[in-house]
């Protein structure tokens, strides 16, 4: 059997993506979702969609949108399929309640690093900027699990009077999986009128997709050892300039969310089963 036919990747379980897609397809989950034969883009970025995620030759790559497919192709990626973000399937399964409480305040996502790269920046100065822009409106700050557990960082935001939350672990090598991660994020976003960050990011597009006003402002901070090949912050400002600022046109942000998350490119359960290699299991 070809190596690519059996290739699977633990990153498919980041943020509960595999479990969420299994639910959409009606697949049983025993301990964790069935193996996906390929690798799913796990976050929005300005590169090829999967960044430093390691793959093997011939592995199928599932990207969120046509925008990402074109970028990935231009960067040498092949075996690409557009499926829409797992977030889009969550929205299809969890429509907002007609009697949902009125939204209030802003949920703020400071730019964060990950297990192998730290972010360098002044959270104290960022807090001053947030206070200036958001005024007396309530602010919830959502931290990545590392910052949430790093008491000095978390304490800064709590002492400033912000409500501080964390959606959970991202997951790593099938450990510390958080199948409810996106469900928690969806619940928080739907409580707020605005979503903001100091960098254009996945959370901004998620918020725009559920009707939040968006804002991107403040010191973008620096990612330790950042690879400049994709253009970095300068390219973000240049290519997505209309999505930056303390106030952004809601029509523009809503359209961008559909485009970048591939909400208009969702597949049916049979189509996903076929792509993921789940059809044989389902037909037993």
Q: pLDDT of 72-85, one tens digit each?
A: 888 888 899 999 99
- Average pLDDT taken over every residue of the chain: 87
269: which 2 tokens?
A: 């359960």
Length of the chain: 284
**CA nearest to 165, candidates 199, 188, 197, 186:** 188
DSSP state, 30? Answer: B
User: What is the pLDDT, as a whole number, of residue 273?
Assistant: 96
Reduced to 3 states (helix: H, G, I; strand: E, B; else coil), residue 214 is: strand
pLDDT surpasses 80 at 92: yes
171: which 2 tokens?
A: 């997951």
Q: How far apart are CA 84 and CA 265, in angstroms?
A: 5
pLDDT surpasses 70 at 281: no
198-221: average pLDDT: 96
User: What is the pLDDT, as a whole number, of residue 230?
Assistant: 60
Domain spanning 106-261 has what CATH number?
Answer: 3.40.50
Beta carbons of 113 and 121 less than 8 angstroms apart: no
Domain boundaries, given as residue ranges, for the chain:
3-85+263-282, 106-261
pLDDT surpasses 80 at 144: yes
Task: Name the residue with higher pLDDT: 7 or 206.
Answer: 206
Task: Name the residue with higher pLDDT: 59 or 188.
Answer: 188
pLDDT surpasses 70 at 5: no
User: What is the pLDDT, as a whole number, of residue 105?
Assistant: 98
User: What is the pLDDT, as a whole number, of residue 171?
Assistant: 64
DSSP state, 156? Answer: H
For 132, other C-beta atoms within 10 Å of its C-beta total: 11
17-26: average pLDDT: 95
Give the DSSP letter string of 29-97.
Answer: -BSBPPPPSSEE--S--SSSSSTT----TT--EEES-HHHHHHHHHTT--SEEE---HHHHHHHHSPPP
pLDDT surpasses 50 at 2: no
Beta carbons of 264 and 82 less than 8 angstroms apart: no
User: What is the pLDDT, as a whole number, of residue 269?
Assistant: 97
pLDDT surpasses 60 at 3: no
User: What is the pLDDT, as a whole number, of residue 148?
Assistant: 82
Task: Name the residue with higher pLDDT: 23 or 176.
Answer: 23
97-122: average pLDDT: 84
Cβ neighbourhood burial of 232 (10 Å; 0-12, 13-18, 19+): middle
- Rg (alpha carbons) of the chain, rounded to whole number: 19
156-162: average pLDDT: 95
Q: How far apart are CA 112 and CA 154, in angstroms?
A: 13
């Amino acid at each position: 059997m070809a190596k690519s036919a059996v290739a699977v990747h633990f990153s498919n379980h980041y943020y509960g993506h595999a479990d969420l897609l299994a639910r959409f397809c009606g697949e049983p989950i025993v301990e964790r979702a069935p193996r996906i034969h390929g690798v799913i883009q796990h976050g929005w970025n300005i590169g090829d969609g999967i960044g430093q995620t390691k793959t093997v030759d011939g592995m199928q790559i599932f990207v969120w949108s046509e925008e990402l497919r074109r970028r990935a192709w231009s960067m040498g990626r092949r075996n690409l399929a557009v499926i829409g973000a797992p977030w889009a399937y969550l929205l299809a399964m969890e429509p907002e309640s007609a009697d949902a409480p009125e939204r209030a305040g802003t949920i703020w996502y400071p730019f964060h690093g990950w297990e192998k790269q730290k972010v360098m920046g002044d959270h104290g100065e960022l807090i001053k900027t947030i206070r200036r822009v958001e005024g007396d409106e309530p602010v919830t700050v959502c931290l990545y699990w590392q910052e949430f557990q790093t008491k000095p960082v978390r304490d800064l935001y709590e002492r400033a009077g912000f409500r501080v939350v964390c959606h959970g672990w991202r997951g790593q090598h099938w450990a510390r999986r958080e199948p409810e991660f996106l469900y928690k994020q969806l619940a928080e976003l739907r409580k707020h009128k605005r979503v903001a960050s100091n960098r254009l990011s996945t959370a901004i597009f998620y918020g725009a997709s559920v009707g939040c006003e968006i804002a991107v402002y403040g010191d973008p901070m620096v990612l330790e050892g950042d690879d400049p090949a994709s253009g970095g912050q300068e390219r973000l400002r240049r290519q997505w300039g209309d999505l930056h600022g303390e106030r952004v046109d809601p029509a523009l942000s809503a359209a961008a969310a559909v485009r970048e998350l591939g909400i208009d490119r969702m597949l049916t359960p049979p189509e996903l089963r076929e792509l993921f290699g789940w059809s044989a299991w389902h037909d037993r």
